[in-house]
Amino acid sequence: MRKAKRGATAKRRSAKSQDAIALLKADHRQVEEWFEQFESTRSSSRKSDLAQKICAALKTHTMIEEEIFYPAFLEATEEEDIHHEAEVEHDGAKKLIAVIEASGPDDDYFDARVTVLSEMIKHHVKEEEQRDGMFAKARAAGMDLNALGEQLAARKAEIEGEAGGGMGTRSRRSSGAGAGRRAMELLGKGARSAH
Protein backbone atom coordinates (compact mmCIF):
# COMPACT_ATOMS: atom_id res chain seq x y z
CA MET A 1 0.00 0.00 0.00
CA ARG A 2 2.78 2.42 0.91
CA LYS A 3 4.69 1.68 -2.30
CA ALA A 4 1.62 2.37 -4.40
CA LYS A 5 1.01 5.63 -2.56
CA ARG A 6 4.64 6.70 -3.02
CA GLY A 7 4.48 5.81 -6.71
CA ALA A 8 1.34 7.89 -7.19
CA THR A 9 2.94 10.80 -5.33
CA ALA A 10 6.04 10.58 -7.52
CA LYS A 11 3.88 10.56 -10.68
CA ARG A 12 1.96 13.63 -9.50
CA ARG A 13 5.23 15.36 -8.65
CA SER A 14 6.69 14.59 -12.08
CA ALA A 15 3.52 15.79 -13.79
CA LYS A 16 3.79 19.07 -11.89
CA SER A 17 7.49 19.48 -12.75
CA GLN A 18 6.95 19.63 -16.51
CA ASP A 19 8.20 23.22 -16.49
CA ALA A 20 11.32 23.11 -18.69
CA ILE A 21 13.50 24.97 -16.23
CA ALA A 22 12.44 22.76 -13.31
CA LEU A 23 13.26 19.67 -15.39
CA LEU A 24 16.68 20.99 -16.41
CA LYS A 25 17.48 22.09 -12.85
CA ALA A 26 16.51 18.63 -11.55
CA ASP A 27 19.04 17.15 -13.98
CA HIS A 28 21.65 19.60 -12.68
CA ARG A 29 21.01 18.58 -9.06
CA GLN A 30 21.20 14.86 -9.88
CA VAL A 31 24.54 15.18 -11.65
CA GLU A 32 25.92 17.40 -8.86
CA GLU A 33 24.99 14.67 -6.37
CA TRP A 34 26.80 12.04 -8.42
CA PHE A 35 29.89 14.25 -8.73
CA GLU A 36 29.93 14.64 -4.92
CA GLN A 37 29.65 10.87 -4.49
CA PHE A 38 32.48 10.38 -6.97
CA GLU A 39 34.71 12.75 -5.01
CA SER A 40 34.02 10.99 -1.71
CA THR A 41 34.46 7.36 -2.77
CA ARG A 42 37.70 5.41 -2.93
CA SER A 43 36.18 2.37 -4.65
CA SER A 44 37.30 1.99 -8.27
CA SER A 45 34.15 0.12 -9.24
CA ARG A 46 31.95 2.77 -7.59
CA LYS A 47 33.91 5.52 -9.40
CA SER A 48 33.43 3.70 -12.69
CA ASP A 49 29.67 3.31 -12.09
CA LEU A 50 29.28 6.96 -11.08
CA ALA A 51 31.31 8.20 -14.04
CA GLN A 52 29.10 6.14 -16.38
CA LYS A 53 25.95 7.60 -14.79
CA ILE A 54 27.33 11.14 -14.97
CA CYS A 55 28.39 10.81 -18.60
CA ALA A 56 25.10 9.21 -19.71
CA ALA A 57 23.04 11.83 -17.87
CA LEU A 58 25.07 14.71 -19.27
CA LYS A 59 24.86 13.36 -22.82
CA THR A 60 21.08 13.14 -22.53
CA HIS A 61 20.84 16.55 -20.88
CA THR A 62 22.98 18.30 -23.49
CA MET A 63 21.04 16.62 -26.28
CA ILE A 64 17.62 17.76 -25.06
CA GLU A 65 18.91 21.27 -24.40
CA GLU A 66 20.51 21.54 -27.84
CA GLU A 67 17.57 20.01 -29.72
CA ILE A 68 14.71 21.72 -27.89
CA PHE A 69 15.49 24.30 -25.22
CA TYR A 70 18.35 26.26 -26.80
CA PRO A 71 16.65 26.85 -30.18
CA ALA A 72 13.45 27.96 -28.41
CA PHE A 73 15.51 30.23 -26.15
CA LEU A 74 17.35 31.80 -29.08
CA GLU A 75 14.12 32.37 -31.01
CA ALA A 76 12.34 33.92 -28.01
CA THR A 77 15.19 36.10 -26.73
CA GLU A 78 17.59 36.62 -29.66
CA GLU A 79 20.36 36.36 -27.02
CA GLU A 80 23.02 35.00 -29.37
CA ASP A 81 25.97 35.50 -26.99
CA ILE A 82 24.38 33.45 -24.20
CA HIS A 83 23.21 30.79 -26.64
CA HIS A 84 26.58 30.48 -28.39
CA GLU A 85 28.52 30.32 -25.11
CA ALA A 86 26.25 27.53 -23.86
CA GLU A 87 26.77 25.58 -27.09
CA VAL A 88 30.56 25.97 -26.88
CA GLU A 89 30.53 24.83 -23.23
CA HIS A 90 28.52 21.77 -24.29
CA ASP A 91 31.06 20.98 -27.01
CA GLY A 92 33.91 21.04 -24.49
CA ALA A 93 32.03 18.84 -22.04
CA LYS A 94 31.09 16.32 -24.75
CA LYS A 95 34.73 15.93 -25.78
CA LEU A 96 35.80 15.26 -22.20
CA ILE A 97 32.86 12.88 -21.67
CA ALA A 98 34.01 10.83 -24.68
CA VAL A 99 37.52 10.55 -23.22
CA ILE A 100 36.17 9.56 -19.79
CA GLU A 101 33.90 6.92 -21.33
CA ALA A 102 36.84 5.48 -23.27
CA SER A 103 38.92 5.13 -20.09
CA GLY A 104 38.39 3.89 -16.57
CA PRO A 105 39.62 4.14 -12.99
CA ASP A 106 42.85 2.32 -13.93
CA ASP A 107 43.77 5.31 -16.13
CA ASP A 108 46.08 7.68 -14.22
CA TYR A 109 44.08 10.70 -15.42
CA PHE A 110 40.58 9.30 -14.84
CA ASP A 111 39.90 11.09 -11.53
CA ALA A 112 41.39 14.32 -12.86
CA ARG A 113 39.20 14.19 -15.97
CA VAL A 114 36.04 13.62 -13.93
CA THR A 115 37.06 16.46 -11.59
CA VAL A 116 37.62 18.83 -14.52
CA LEU A 117 34.27 17.77 -16.02
CA SER A 118 32.65 18.55 -12.66
CA GLU A 119 34.21 22.03 -12.67
CA MET A 120 33.09 22.64 -16.26
CA ILE A 121 29.54 21.60 -15.43
CA LYS A 122 29.45 23.73 -12.26
CA HIS A 123 30.44 26.76 -14.34
CA HIS A 124 27.87 25.95 -17.02
CA VAL A 125 25.09 25.42 -14.48
CA LYS A 126 25.94 28.72 -12.77
CA GLU A 127 25.75 30.50 -16.13
CA GLU A 128 22.33 29.02 -16.85
CA GLU A 129 20.86 29.44 -13.36
CA GLN A 130 22.25 32.82 -12.22
CA ARG A 131 19.91 35.76 -11.75
CA ASP A 132 20.54 37.21 -15.23
CA GLY A 133 21.35 33.88 -16.89
CA MET A 134 19.67 31.85 -19.57
CA PHE A 135 16.86 30.50 -17.40
CA ALA A 136 15.94 33.93 -16.03
CA LYS A 137 15.94 35.39 -19.53
CA ALA A 138 13.78 32.51 -20.76
CA ARG A 139 11.19 33.23 -18.06
CA ALA A 140 11.32 36.97 -18.77
CA ALA A 141 10.76 36.34 -22.49
CA GLY A 142 7.49 34.57 -21.75
CA MET A 143 8.52 31.27 -23.26
CA ASP A 144 5.92 28.50 -22.88
CA LEU A 145 7.99 26.59 -20.36
CA ASN A 146 5.26 24.04 -19.64
CA ALA A 147 5.01 22.99 -23.29
CA LEU A 148 8.80 22.96 -23.58
CA GLY A 149 9.00 20.88 -20.40
CA GLU A 150 6.69 18.28 -21.90
CA GLN A 151 8.83 18.17 -25.05
CA LEU A 152 12.03 17.87 -23.01
CA ALA A 153 10.58 15.10 -20.83
CA ALA A 154 9.33 13.14 -23.86
CA ARG A 155 12.67 13.44 -25.69
CA LYS A 156 14.59 12.55 -22.54
CA ALA A 157 12.47 9.40 -22.07
CA GLU A 158 13.04 8.51 -25.73
CA ILE A 159 16.83 8.91 -25.45
CA GLU A 160 16.99 6.94 -22.21
CA GLY A 161 14.85 4.21 -23.76
CA GLU A 162 17.24 3.97 -26.71
CA ALA A 163 20.15 3.78 -24.28
CA GLY A 164 18.61 0.76 -22.59
CA GLY A 165 17.26 2.17 -19.35
CA GLY A 166 16.89 5.07 -17.02
CA MET A 167 19.20 7.97 -16.41
CA GLY A 168 22.74 6.69 -16.62
CA THR A 169 22.05 2.95 -16.40
CA ARG A 170 23.44 1.92 -19.78
CA SER A 171 26.61 -0.10 -19.65
CA ARG A 172 29.50 1.54 -21.47
CA ARG A 173 31.63 -1.60 -21.48
CA SER A 174 29.84 -3.03 -24.52
CA SER A 175 30.65 0.04 -26.62
CA GLY A 176 34.13 0.80 -25.29
CA ALA A 177 35.92 0.41 -28.61
CA GLY A 178 33.41 2.63 -30.42
CA ALA A 179 33.59 5.22 -27.67
CA GLY A 180 37.36 5.18 -27.82
CA ARG A 181 37.37 5.72 -31.57
CA ARG A 182 34.79 8.50 -31.21
CA ALA A 183 36.86 10.17 -28.47
CA MET A 184 39.93 10.12 -30.68
CA GLU A 185 37.93 11.56 -33.60
CA LEU A 186 36.66 14.35 -31.39
CA LEU A 187 40.10 15.08 -30.01
CA GLY A 188 41.55 15.03 -33.51
CA LYS A 189 38.96 17.57 -34.67
CA GLY A 190 39.72 19.76 -31.69
CA ALA A 191 43.45 19.58 -32.30
CA ARG A 192 43.07 20.36 -36.00
CA SER A 193 40.78 23.31 -35.40
CA ALA A 194 43.14 24.73 -32.80
CA HIS A 195 45.93 25.04 -35.37
> What does the pLDDT look like over 74-128, one tens digit per residue?
999 999 999 999 999 999 999 999 999 999 999 999 999 999 999 999 999 999 9
pLDDT reading at 190 higher than 80: no
Output b/e per residue, 18-38; b: 16+ Cβ within 10 A: bbbbebbbebbebbeebbeeb
Say if 62 falls within a structural domain: yes
Say if 166 falls within a structural domain: yes
The percent of residues above 90 in pLDDT, for the chain, comes to: 73
The size of the chain, in residues, is 195
> What mean pLDDT is reported for the chain?
82
10 Å CB burial of residue 101 (0-12, 13-18, 19+) is buried
The band of 11, judged by pLDDT with boundaries at 50, 70 and 90, is: very low
Say if 9 falls within a structural domain: no
Measuring CA to CA, which residue among 22, 39, 37, 55 is closest to residue 176?
Answer: 55
Interaxial angle between packed helices 176-194 and 80-101, expressed in degrees from 0 to 180 and rounded to the nearest 10: 130
pLDDT reading at 184 higher than 80: no
Say if 11 falls within a structural domain: no
Say if 3 falls within a structural domain: no
Determine the average pLDDT of the residues in 22-37.
Answer: 97
Q: Compute the distance between CA of residue 111 and CA of residue 39 in angstroms, rounded to an integer.
A: 8
Say if 61 falls within a structural domain: yes
Helix (H), strand (E) at residue 194: helix 176-194
> What does the pLDDT look like over 135-165, one tens digit per residue?
999 999 999 999 999 999 999 999 998 876 5
Tell me, what CATH number does 78's domain have? 1.20.120
Say if 73 falls within a structural domain: yes
Measuring CA to CA, which residue among 177, 134, 170, 181 is closest to residue 53?
Answer: 170
Say if 96 falls within a structural domain: yes
pLDDT of residue 164: 66
Torsion of CA 101, 14, 127, 189, to 10 degrees: 30
Determine the average pLDDT of the residues in 6-25.
Answer: 64
Q: Compute the distance between CA of residue 27 and CA of residue 119 in angstroms, rounded to an integer.
A: 16
**Residue 179 and residue 101 in contact, taking contact as beta carbons nearer than 8 Å:** yes
Q: How many domains does the chain have?
A: 1
Determine the average pLDDT of the residues in 59-73.
Answer: 97
The range of the structural domain enclosing residue 59 comes to 17-194
pLDDT reading at 170 higher than 50: no
pLDDT reading at 5 higher than 60: no
Q: Compute the distance between CA of residue 160 and CA of residue 91 in angstroms, rounded to an integer.
A: 20
